[in-house]
């Protein structure tokens, strides 16, 4: 009786393992090709048709390019557009708008310390960073968080992590002394 019991138990165990393995293969979370009843077919092209198809495709591409070049919008902003005075976000003045005395002092301090930002020809990046420091100070944000944000913002423009940390300290100190 015990030998027959172990044989049945072993058979049931093997069947359970096999059923589990099959169920795992049918898991929908794995990437697999769908299995369906439709036959997969392929088509072949006559070599003489290929050259006419390429010519047609190049004509369509040229037509699309000529249409695209006509409908491309201007890349420069409209100079007559002005930022409303009550615009949210504390974004500093755009180029062409007079700077306040505080902003001039802040920018002069950054220049004196040789702190500049890549591509910041109109000082908007520098002014935005200073405005960020002041807004976070007024909200009593942890100084460590302010410095971490500044290092992250300056990092892509810095030569190294140490350079980003030094620039962040200078921007924060200058904003505290001149803007806030």
Query: Averaged over 59-87, what is the pLDDT?
Result: 60
What's the confidence (pLDDT) of residue 71? 60
User: Which carries the bigger pLDDT value, residue 170 or residue 97?
Assistant: 170
Do 135 and 90 touch, CB atoms closer than 8 A? yes
What's the confidence (pLDDT) of residue 29? 52
Average pLDDT score, the chain: 74
Report domain extents, the chain.
Answer: 122-178
What's the confidence (pLDDT) of residue 90? 46
User: Which carries the bigger pLDDT value, residue 50 or residue 16?
Assistant: 16
pLDDT surpasses 70 at 91: no
State both tokens at 80.
């007559």
What's the confidence (pLDDT) of residue 97? 72
- pTM, two decimals, is 0.47
pLDDT surpasses 90 at 173: yes
What's the confidence (pLDDT) of residue 95? 56
Q: What is the pLDDT of residues 126-168, one digit of tens each?
A: 888 899 999 999 999 898 998 998 898 888 888 888 888 999 9
Q: What is the pLDDT of residues 12-23, one digit of tens each?
A: 777 777 767 766
Three-state SS annotation for the chain: CHHHHHHHHHHHHHHHHHHHHHHHHCCCCCCCCCCCCCCCCCCCCCHHHHHHHHHHHHHHHHHHHHHHHHHCCCCCCCCCCCCCCCCCCCCCCCCCCCCCHHHHHHHHHHHHCCCCCCCCCCCHHHHHHHHHHHHHHHCCCCHHHHHHHHHHHHHHHCCCHHHHHHHHHHHHHHHHHHCC
Between the two ends of the chain, the Cα-to-Cα distance in Å is 91
């Amino acid at each position: 009786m015990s030998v027959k019991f172990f044989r049945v138990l072993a058979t049931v165990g093997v069947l359970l393992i096999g059923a589990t393995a099959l169920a795992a293969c049918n898991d929908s979370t794995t990437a697999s090709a769908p299995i369906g009843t439709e036959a997969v077919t392929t088509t072949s092209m006559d070599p003489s048709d290929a050259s006419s198809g390429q010519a047609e495709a190049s004509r369509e591409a040229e037509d699309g390019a000529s249409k695209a070049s006509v409908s491309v919008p201007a890349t420069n902003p409209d100079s007559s557009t002005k930022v409303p005075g009550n615009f949210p976000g504390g974004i500093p003045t755009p180029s062409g708008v007079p700077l306040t005395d505080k902003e001039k002092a802040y920018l002069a301090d950054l220049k004196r310390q040789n702190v500049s930002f890549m591509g910041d020809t109109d000082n908007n990046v520098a002014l935005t960073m200073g405005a960020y420091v002041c807004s976070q100070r007024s909200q009593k944000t942890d100084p460590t968080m302010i410095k971490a944000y500044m290092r992250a913002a300056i990092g892509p423009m810095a030569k190294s992590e140490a350079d980003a940390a030094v620039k962040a300290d200078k921007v924060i100190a200058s904003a505290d002394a001149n803007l806030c």
